[in-house]
Amino acid sequence: MESEELRNVGLKVTTPRLKILGLLENAKAKHITAETIYRQLGESGEAIGLATVYRALAQFEAAGLITRHQFEGGQTVFELERGPHHDHIVCVRCGRVEEFYDKVIEDRQREIAENFGFTLKDHALTLYGECNDENCLGRTG
């Protein structure tokens, strides 16, 4: 249950936080902007302030419940942290986002960081390309 998740990370269980977490879990798009969350909550009758959405997202991120991504050109999107780590491949035409995990790359990253004398804390890898999906092609004609 979502209340558990909040309690576990030391956050008070409040209606806005529950709604936001719930939306994140049921969202059709896995990667979603703060604006979209705000708008969708509004549409479903929950009057939650935009500031609250941003605040909650920041706290969820700090608590490791969600991850923040800044794909090039677009707004910041948030994604529920479920399952193992992964990176993204984004279609530059239609915005479709797919996820992948590649052990070879992960391992190399660690080695590279070591070679530079860095302790690896995090990384951001995003591939940009054109997906040859029919719906995608349709959009650009």
Partner DNA sequence: TCGCAAGTGAGAATGGTTCTCATCTTACAT
Partner DNA sequence: ATGTAAGATGAGAACCATTCTCACTTGCGA
Please tell me whether residue 97 binds a copy of itself under the rule CB under 8 A: no
Please tell me whether residue 117 binds a copy of itself under the rule CB under 8 A: yes
- Could you give the string, one character per residue 43-62, with x where binding to DNA holds by CB under 7 A and - elsewhere? ----xxxxxx-xxx-x----
- Which option in DNA, a copy of itself, none does residue 138 bind, with CB closer than 5 to 8 A by kind? none
- Which option in DNA, a copy of itself, none does residue 119 bind, with CB closer than 5 to 8 A by kind? a copy of itself
Three-class secondary structure of residue 57 per DSSP? helix
Return the bridge partners of 32, or none.
Answer: 78
- Binding-site size for DNA (CB under 7 A) equals 23
How far apart are alpha carbons 62 and 99 in whole angstroms?
Answer: 22
Helix (H), strand (E), coil (C) string for 15-52: HHHHHHHHHHHHCCCCCECHHHHHHHHHHCCCCCCHHH
Determine the interface stretch with DNA among 14-22, 87-95, 110-118, 119-127 (rule: CB under 7 A).
Answer: 14-22
**Which residue has 């190399």 as its token pair?**
108
How many C-alpha atoms does 60 have within 13 Å on its Cβ side?
30
**Which residue has 């349709």 as its token pair?**
138
- Could you give the string, one character per residue 51-70, with x where binding to a copy of itself holds by CB under 8 A and - elsewhere? -------------------x
Please tell me whether residue 39 binds DNA under the rule CB under 7 A: no
Residues that bind DNA (CB under 7 A): 7, 11-17, 33-35, 47-52, 54-56, 58, 75-76
